[in-house]
Structure formats: C-alpha cells, structure tokens
Chain A
Amino acid sequence: MAAKSSSDFDSGRAESNEANSKWLDAHYDPMANIHTFSSCLALADLHGDGEYKLVVGDLGPGGQNPYLKVLKGATVLTESPLPSLPAAAATFLMEQHEPRTPALALASGPCVYVYKNLRPYFKFNLPQLPPNPLEQDLWDQAKEDRIDPLTLKEMLESIREKAEIPLSVQSLRFLQLELSEMESFVNQNKSKTIKRQTVITTMTTLKKNLADEDAISCLVLGTENKGLLIIDPEAFTILAEMDIPSVPVFLEASGQFDVEFQLAAACRNGTIYILKRDSKHPKYSIELSAQPVGLVQVHKILVIGSTQDSLHGFTHKGKKLWTVQMPAAILTMNLLEHRSRSLQAVMVGLANTEVRIYRDKVLLNVIRTPDTVTSLCFGRYGREDNTLIMTTRGGGLIIKILKRTAVFVEGTGEVGSPPAQAMKLNVPRKTRLYVDQTLREREAGTGMHQIFQTDLYLLHLRAARAYVQALESSLSPMSVTAREPLKLHAVVQGLGPTFKLTLHLQNTSTARPVLGLLVCFLYDEALYALPRAFFKVPLLVPGLNYPLETFVQSLSSKGTSDIIRVLVLREGQGVPQLSAHISMPVSEGLMAA
C-alpha cells in the first residue's frame, strides 16, 4: 500500500509545471475507479473528528454498478452498493443537537437516502402521483380478465402516445415484454394497484432559518415531474412544492427558507427559472440559446455553462452580464470558495483536459490534467482547507492542494474583453445637415428608394445596350463569333519619340486555324507615322500567341498624344472582326530634347 501511494506521489509531482505552480500535487491515482459527476461529490466532517471526508455517489464503470463511497485521504473508507444510479449527493445539518455532525443525503431514483454517521438513517420517498384514469381502467379490466394481453398492450401504447399523464412503471415494463412473457406478467401484476412515481433529477441544500455556516438546512429536490420540493430536515415532510415548465437538471439555492430564499433551476429546455419564496411559479426566466451544462452561483451572479462552449453571467433578475467563450466543450462546473481570501470563483472542466478558474469573466488559473475531468469539488478535505478534488473520465482521482502562499491575480491569463473595446471612439457631433438629412430620409424613404431603383435599372439597361452594340460592331478586343474566336492584346513600349507597338493575337478556338486576316491601324497622320499601316496576318494556329510588332514614330513636338485604333479585318468583309483603342503615351524623349 505504501509503495503504491508513493508512486502516485512521484507521478503527480512530475506533472506540476510553472503554469499551475499555485497547486501542490497531493495525489493522482488513474485507477481509482471513481466514475461520477460534480453533483455527486460532497465534502463533510461526517464523524465530527475534524477530518473531512469525501462522499462520492459512484456510478460505476459504464453506469452499471452504483456505489456510495466515502474516502479519507487517498483511500476508500467505506463502500456500500446503491439500488439505482445516484443523481446527487449533499451533506447537511439535520438538527441542533450536539455533536453537530452533518448528515449525508443521496438522491437516487425516487428516494433520498439519508445517512448519519455513515449508517442508514432515513429513506424519503417522493409522493405518489395520481395514475392515468384510462390506464387504471385498463388494468381493472385486466384484473377481471375482460381484456387479453395483446389488446391491453395496444391500448396502453395508444395512451402512451397521446395522453398528458405518462404511464406508470408497471405499464412501461409491460410494453417492453415479448409476447410469450405478457400473459404471466399480467397474471402476476394485475392485482397490484398501479403506482406512478417520478424520479429525482437534482438536489441541493437551503438554510432553514439561519445563515450561519453550521445552521440546519432543508433539502431542495428537482423531479422529473417538472417540480421542485423543499424537504424539512427533521421530520422529512414536504415544506413547499413548486412547479416549473420543464425538467430541472441543475439547482442553486440561496437565502433561508423561513425568511426569504431564491431558487434557480436550469432546465432541459434551455431555460433557467428563478423562483422566490411565496411564488408557486417562476418569477423570472432566462432563456439560453443552448442547453445548460452547469449552474453555479458566485456571490450574486448565476454563472451558466452552455453547450455552445461558453460561460454566461446573469443577475438574479435574468439580466445578462457577460459571456466568455471557452476553447473546448464544458464538461463540468463547480464553485471554488477560498474563504481565507474571500474569493469565489467558478471552476470549469473542459474537454481539452483543462480545468479553468474564472472570477466573473476573468481567467485566474488554468490547470492541465492528464485526463479529461468529469467532476470537480473544492473545499476542506482531510485537514487541508483548500483542496481541489477531480475525478476523470477514466475513473482516476486527482487531489491538488492550493498553496498557502498562492494568490490568484487577475490579468495573468487572457482578459475577457480586448482593451480596444473599452476605448471611446471619436464620433463627430451631429450637425444640422445630418439631422435634416435623417429627417428627410425618414419621411421620404420609400420615394428615395424607388428613385434609386429606377436609376439603377436604367443604368443596367444602358450598360447592356452598350455591350450589345460593342459586340455587334466588334469594338471589343475579344471576338466571340463561333467561327473565329480571337483575342487581341496590345502593348506599347518605349519612351518616345519611337514606340514599339506589339499586338498579341491569339486564336482561342480549340481546333480550327484561322487564315486570311488583315490588321489595319487608324491614326492621325499629323501626329504619328507607322512603317506599315496595313498588313496581313499569318496563319493562326489555335492556342498560340502571335506577337506582331511594329514601330510608331511620334511626330508631334508639343507633347500631345492620341489614340491609335487597331482593326482586325477579314479578307472580303467590311465589318472588322476585332478592334482595339490604344492610348499612346506622351513622347517623353522629345520633351526632354
């Protein structure tokens, strides 16, 4: 045992690096075989000996083998099997008597199991719900053998699809059966009265009448039946019952039951409902754009993690304060409360094997873990006040202790919003003209839009007409006639007075060569002189680029320039195939001379 734990020490120490030097690696056991979520972790001094234990509602590998485990230090103190999967674990003080050892409550299925001194103390069952009258009627008929199992099955199925009130467990189980098993099941169960019971989805604690650390607390349960129940800690009676529009999955409570309290329930429909004392129904609701994956109350702010990989901060009245984007999906969240420094922060376990600690939207610390963390818990463990307990997807247990000297400083990590966002832009003041224009736009908006549209259409029309005309008169440097697709591209080189004019002529057809083309230059003879103003083009092989060079002599001494038009003609036709306008540059050589 000693050898095993020491190897754990060594591996834990090797992982510590500069980034999480705030933490001491106390223990890491990748094979601890603990599979659970943050809601099923609780820390409490269960025996009243000053040594805080860890209570784990363990789902077992693959959710097969639920156990209640109590850990002391790095070792499991006790283990006891559970009848069904745990939904939540909480520790609370039941009564005022000394010694004030907290009781342990474990919600599982339709029951809350209460343990004192780690011995079973009480089992609270959720109240039964009225069964569906139609279903009741069917089973009554079955009892008197007036209905055969097959018809019963059909009828029950139709109820399941239509009815508002869901079926009982007995009927649901019946529907799952094979034909051969039905008869015996009906005979076995027909005399039983059908019961409908809901299950607990979440649980938290709420102080009863004192805000003290060691005051007695009520249990608050969320059920699959879209309800919230507050349970008295001594008599285990229902003190209050509330309805919400969806199934609660996370609960946060603040205040005291007898004075004023507030419940926040994150539900499966992506909405957070906030309820107060004396309100049977939600007072405020916060609609998220995605499903919630965690709910933590930090001071007066509700911090909600959503499936869109982001954390949101909301006030108790549902006003959104901030949003922080996470680098990966959020797996679990819990509260970090550092009492001696009066710091409250949110710990977020991410899918990229990081645990991030945020105070509001400021990142305080990042812990890298060897495996993805599925549950987090911070508090007094053993004799150490600031212990962080994490369990991993692979069933590992990581225990880290916050150094006594560690201080979380803001701004060490990345800051929530970039500094540019806070900078004030120098927006000019509104002028008289601006105001007049705005007024006019407001009044005559439709007319202005219509005029603009008319002009735009006219412009389109004119452009189209010009294009058609250019195509018809072959004014463009691209010929698109089916027989002779040609491309012309002209380049002028030189400073003057002599320029070199290169015409690049290309036959863009795939196979057909072009023969019998002529090139003709049209220019002002007072300004330019060309050796040949008219020549024949050789055979154009498809795809090749033919550079046709000619020299242009500028005659003007005044530094004027003009346009030379290039026409590509076909022998025996009057209309040019192609045309291009070449803007000649000013002759710089002459100007210098």
Chain B
Amino acid sequence: MRTSRQHISVPGITPLVDVVFLLIVFFVLVSRVVDLDRVPMDLPMPDPALSAPPMERSTAVVNVVPGDDGEAAGYRLDGTTHATDQDGRNALRHALAAHLLADPTTAVVIRADRRARSGGVLPVLHLARRAAAEAGLAVPVRVELAVERPR
C-alpha cells in the first residue's frame, strides 16, 4: 500500500517581511502625524513675509487654543492645556520658567490663530518675560511668532 506523502507546512518568509515593513512604515507615519507640540489652527499668513524657518534648537511651543469669537480657550504647552485664568497663567509661567532654567537659550514659540484677538495672545508675551525673570535669565528671552508661509 502506498503511503500518502506528508506535507510539512513552512511559513512563507516573504509575507512576514511584508508585514514587518508595513508595520515600520505605519509607525513612521503615525509618529509624524501625532505632534503634541502643535495644535491645528490657521496661523497668520503675511504675504510677502520676511519670516524665517524655525531654528533647530530648544523651543517651548505655546499654542493659544482658539475659542469662540476670537477669544483664547487656553494655552497649550507640552501637551498640557492651561486655563486662561490667573491660576492657568501662573502654571504656564512656571512651565516656561522650567524650560528656561533647563536651557536658557530656549525660544518661546507663540502659535495663535489668525482670527484670534490679540488680547488672548499678548499675555503670553508678558508670561514669557516674567518666566525669564523667574528663571534668572541674564539675557532677553527669545520669542518667535509662528506664521504660515504662503505657498
């Protein structure tokens, strides 16, 4: 009697490699999309602008979260949203001071929507100045205003 040939199943290495590559690409994509530093908003777009590309150095990005009718709904720094009341502003000032203490060359980047009222944005300038004093900075704090480059 003839015995039936036994099939040894071997997992194909090609689909495995495919899946691994797809996983790598997926995580590369996700890491690019998820940017806690930047809240989606329409930045001011002066045209023609003499703005410059952001410098490659330490930054503390303060997002003025857009609220109703141009008011600021909060200030977002390092993934934490601080309220616009006095307690929130104090917390933001301490967080900025911690950045400046860790690295005195840190630039405070202010991102605010083009429809925002200045009354919600200007306090961040005061807080940056006070944070620099709190951190004992001997030089003026560097502030950068984020804008969108016209395409």
**B partners with A:** no
B residues bordering A, Cβ < 8 Å? none
A positions within 8 Å CB-CB of B: none
